[in-house]
Amino acid sequence: MLSFMSEAQSVVRELKMLLEVESLDEIKKKMDKFYMVTILRAIYPDFEHVRDELLTRHEIPFMDA
């Protein structure tokens, strides 16, 4: 339970940092990246090599939700 709470607090801190921008377009772009990173962090262990490859790129891919 402590691990879950700690991770949740970390996510909230990251989200607050993302929202400290000037325009709505910037917020949308950062939220897209945050969404993708969150998905990649939870990827099934058999696909860790795919996650690692995507997260080490200069540009993080995005998904249209």
Q: What are phi and psi of 21, to 5 degrees?
A: -130, 175
Whether 39 maps to a domain, the answer reads: yes
Whether 60 maps to a domain, the answer reads: no
Whether 62 maps to a domain, the answer reads: no
pLDDT of residue 40: 76
pLDDT of residue 64: 59
Structural domains in the chain (count)? 1
Q: Which domain holds residue 10?
A: 2-55
pLDDT interval class at 62 (50, 70, 90): low
Give pLDDT tens digits for 2-47.
Answer: 777 787 788 778 777 767 767 888 878 877 877 777 777 777 778 8
Question: Does the pTM of the predicted model rise above 0.75?
Answer: no
Whether 65 maps to a domain, the answer reads: no
User: Is the pLDDT assigned to residue 1 strictly greater than 70?
Assistant: no
Q: Which amino acid is at 2?
A: L
